[in-house]
Every structure is written in C-alpha cells, then in structure tokens.
Chain A
Amino acid sequence: MEHYVPILVYALVAISFPIIALLMAKVVRAGSPDPVKAEPYECGVKTNTVAFDTRFSIRYYLIAVLFVIFDVETIFLFPWAVSFDRLALFGFIEMMVFLAILLVGYVYAWRRGALEWA
C-alpha cells in the first residue's frame, strides 16, 4: 500500500489547488455582482437560449462512440505491450489480427465520411 502514498499526495494537491485558488480569489476580488455576469458566455454575443435547451447534433455522439471504441482498443494494447517480450512473435501476430479487424471498421468509418465534420 505504501507505493500509493505519492499518488495520494498528488490527488490531495490536485484537489486542494482549485479549492485554494477559488477561495483566494473570493477573498481578494472586488464584489460587484450583476445578473449579466452570471449568464453563459457565447463569444460576446447575447445568449438566445437557456443552456439546457440547446440540443447538439447527433454527429457529436457518433464521434464519442468512435472514441470509446478506440479507447477500448488502446486498453487491450496496454497489457500486450507490457508482456511483449514474453509473448514474442505469437503475441505480435495475435495483436496484428486484432488490429486488422478493427482497421476494417476504421476504413469503413473513413469511407462513410464519419470522420469528416462538414
């Protein structure tokens, strides 16, 4: 367990940093509240809709799904890379088959224009 002490310290610093920064700002700053300041910022343009009312295009979701799939693929690469020496050529061929199957999906996504934004 003692190996995790640096991680614990790191997590505590990471959590306390924004808290301290926000508290410091609260103490130091001049307070002049204004309802306009609390509005969501839209590049200087006056906001038309409430933040929750805006609906996003389905294309964002498609990108997110593709991200999760390639994320899972990366996860499988990780233990393979760690035990690469022990698995030798067998493991290499095995992983190439795995990647080749997923490459089919990648090429399909590319051909369908799923990776293009316009």
Chain B
Amino acid sequence: MDFLVSHFAEILFYILAALAVLGSVGVITLKNPVNAALSLLGTFFIVAVLFVLQHAEFLAAVQVMVYAGGIMVLFLFVIMLVSVKGLKTQAAFLSPLVPVAIIGAILVGALITSAVLLGVFATGDGGPEALQMVDGAVLGNTEAVGMVLYTKYLVPFEVVSVVLLVAMIGAIVFGRKDRFIEEQEGEVGS
C-alpha cells in the first residue's frame, strides 16, 4: 500500500501511457473510420492527462481545446467529405506493416534503452518546478508560459499570427470553387 501511495504518479503514468498506445493502435486498425476517429479522441484526452502529470497544465488545456476540440472536428469533416464506403483500407495497410513493425520495435527498444541508461524513465529529469519558475519567482504554469512566451519568445509569437494568416487565406482560396470567387468579385465590384 505504501508503494502504491508513494509511486502513485508513476503507476498512473504507466497505465495512461499503455492506454494512449492502445488508443493510437486503435486509430490505425479499426475498420470503421468513425470508430478510428473516436479512438483518436480518447488518445488526445489521455495525452492531456499525461501533460497534467508532468505539471504542464497549460499544454493539457491546449491539448483538449485545440486537438480534442478543433483538430477532431477537421478529422470528422474529412470523414464526411470523402465517400469512405468504397475505400480499400485493409489490403493497402497490412502489406507494408511487417517492415514498419520491425523498424518501430527497434526504435522503441533504442528509446527505452537510452532512457534507462540516462536514468530519466517515467518522470523525466526536469522537475515540476521548472515549469512554474520565471526568474526565480514561482508562478502558475499558465502564467509562467505567458511570461516566457510574451517576453523571451516575442518574435516567434508574432510570426505565429502570420502563419495562422497564411493558413486562413490558403483555406479560403482552396476551399472555394472558382465560380464562387467570380460571383463574389462581381458583387463587390458592382
């Protein structure tokens, strides 16, 4: 019982990590695309809890808002936009699986070995304090992120707005049929 209490975070991490792996395996193996999408949604939520375990509360909120909220909507729209009924999923997917599985197993083995050798398994080497400190002052995680993002990483932050602008204009240009744009220009010009 003492072991359970003292290693609560680690035990929780391993359970959630296993669930996250199961969820992502479900994404690529489930035949029904809606089931695969729901499996992905579950994986997103588990990853959010993993972020909370690492005391990255802001990232957890971003994970839920952007991935489980926004990206998930995009995936579901893609499923509805294409006719998924006629797709041959199984045959196309299974044939290259064996070499991929071997490479994946080697990479995971290397990752675990290096993690064990470096002694940073499960919790990482940065303590939770690192995510809450700015210039020696202890803040909440979101506040610490804000202080660093809007002072030290000022230029990357402003560049993000340009990247988002490009994505927005690109989506509008690609998403509209040519006749739509011509009609609209006619209306604006008149």
B158 and A112 within 8 A (CB): no
Asked if residues A73 and B145 are in contact (CB atoms below 8 Å), the reply is no
B81: min CB distance to chain A, Å: 6
Counting CB contacts under 8 A, is B154 at the interface?
Answer: yes
CB distance from B171 to the nearest CB of A (A): 4
Question: With the chains together, A114 CA to B170 CA distance in Å?
Answer: 12
Contact with A along B156-167 (1 / 0, CB 8 A): 011011101101
Please state if B175 and A62 are interface contacts (CB–CB under 8 Å).
yes
Q: CA A4 – CA B171 in complex, angstroms?
A: 39
B-facing residues in A80-114 (Cβ within 8 Å):
80, 82-83, 86-87, 90-91, 94-95, 97-99, 101-102, 104-106, 108-109, 111-114
Q: Is A42's CB within 8 Å of the partner chain B?
A: no
Residue A20 at the chain B interface, CB threshold 8 Å: no
Chain A residues closer than 8 Å to B188, beta-carbon distance = 111
- The majority secondary structure among interface residues of chain A is helix
29 A-B residue pairs with CB within 8 Å: A1-B9, A52-B85, A58-B177, A61-B74, A64-B73, A64-B74, A65-B167, A65-B168, A69-B171, A71-B66, A71-B70, A72-B70, A72-B164, A73-B161, A78-B61, A79-B142, A79-B150, A83-B139, A83-B142, A83-B146, A83-B147, A83-B150, A86-B143, A90-B151, A98-B160, A98-B161, A102-B164, A105-B164, A114-B176
- Nearest CB in chain A to that of B52: its residue: A4
Interface size for A (C-beta < 8 A) is: 50
Once the chains are docked, how many angstroms separate the CA of A78 from the CA of B161?
Answer: 15
Give A56 to B167 CA distance when docked, in angstroms.
Answer: 22
The distance from the CB of A2 to the nearest CB of chain B, in whole angstroms, is 10
Is B158 touching A97 in the complex (CB atoms < 8 A)? yes
Beta-carbon nearest neighbor of A100 in chain B: B161
The residues of A with any CB-CB pair to B shorter than 8 Å are 1, 4, 50, 52-56, 58-62, 64-69, 71-76, 78-80, 82-83, 86-87, 90-91, 94-95, 97-99, 101-102, 104-106, 108-109, 111-114
- Which residue from B80, B145, B169 sits with its C-beta under 8 Å from A105? B169
The answer to whether A52 touches B84, judged by C-beta atoms less than 8 angstroms apart, is yes
Known: A66-B171, A105-B168, A114-B175. A78 touches B142 (CB 8 A): yes
B contact residues around A50 at 8 Å (CB): 85
Give the chain A neighbours of B103 by CB distance below 8 A.
Answer: none
CA A95 to CA B2, docked complex, whole Å:
49
- Is the pair B85, A53 in contact by a Cβ cutoff of 8 Å? yes
A74 CB → nearest B CB, Å:
7
* Bound-complex Cα distance A53 to B86 (A): 9
When the two chains form the complex, which single residue of A55, A71, A102 contacts B82, counting CB atoms closer than 8 Å? A55
Complex: A94 Cα to B157 Cα, angstroms = 9
In the bound complex, how far is the Cα of B188 from the Cα of A61, in angstroms? Answer: 24
Interface pair A62/B171, CB less than 8 Å apart: yes
